[in-house]
């Protein structure tokens, strides 16, 4: 049963990642990592959310505002650290990367008033998608943790 779940997860991951049209090295690395056994404990829905975050990181556009681009690079780094800590089950690293993400997210929100309307709209779409997927991934992990603690009792 467990191997069937792993197979179904790998097929779902492969289908999701193959449907994405990114060609970056970071995306390929995450694709490879997602297919490994280190993600076997994640639910298929959590894998979808992690994959979405990874794809958003790799496709994040450059903006005309250098300060925003600098904060975006910090945000992408925090998100990459977060995904790595999720994969490695490193709770302390995950907590730190979440705090870094929140700090960068707030800094970017403050800088939005200095952007052109078009850039602001694009940035907002990315930020909403990232925040949504982060919340969904956290919720999926909480459900998995609760189910694990219930089954061990």
CB 73 within 8 A of CB 39: no
d(CA 38, CA 33): 8
What is this structure's pTM? Answer: 0.71
**For the chain, domain boundaries:** 2-151
CA distance 145 to 151: 10
Instruction: Provide the pLDDT for residue 12.
Output: 43
pLDDT of residue 3: 41
Neighbours of 52 (CB within 10 A): 19
pLDDT at residue 17 in the model? 43
What does the pLDDT read at residue 14?
45
Q: What is the pLDDT of residue 85?
A: 94
Q: What is the mean pLDDT of each run of 10 residues along the chain (153 residues)?
A: 42 44 49 52 87 96 96 98 93 96 97 96 97 94 67 53
pLDDT for the residue numbered 141: 86
Question: Distance between CA atoms of 58 and 50, rounded to whole angstroms?
Answer: 13
Residue 15, pLDDT score: 41
- For residue 36, give the DSSP letter: S
What pLDDT is stored for residue 142 in this prediction? 82
As a whole number of angstroms, the distance between CA 81 and CA 37 comes to 19
> What's the Rg (C-alpha) of the chain?
16
CA distance 16 to 24: 16
């Amino acid at each position: 049963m467990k191997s069937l779940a792993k197979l179904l997860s790998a097929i779902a991951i492969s289908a999701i990642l193959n449907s994405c049209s990114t060609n970056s090295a970071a995306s390929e690395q995450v694709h490879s990592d997602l297919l490994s056994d280190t993600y076997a404990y994640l639910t298929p829905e959590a894998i979808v959310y992690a994959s979405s975050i990874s794809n958003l990181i790799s496709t994040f556009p450059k903006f005309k505002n250098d300060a925003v681009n600098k904060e975006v690079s910090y945000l992408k780094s925090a998100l990459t650290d977060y995904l790595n800590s999720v994969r490695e089950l490193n709770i302390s690293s995950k907590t730190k990367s979440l705090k870094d993400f929140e700090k960068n997210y707030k800094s970017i929100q403050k800088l939005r008033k200095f952007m052109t309307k078009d850039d602001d709209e694009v940035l907002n779409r990315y930020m909403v998608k990232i925040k949504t997927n982060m919340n969904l991934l956290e919720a999926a992990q909480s459900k998995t943790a609760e189910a694990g603690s219930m089954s061990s009792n």
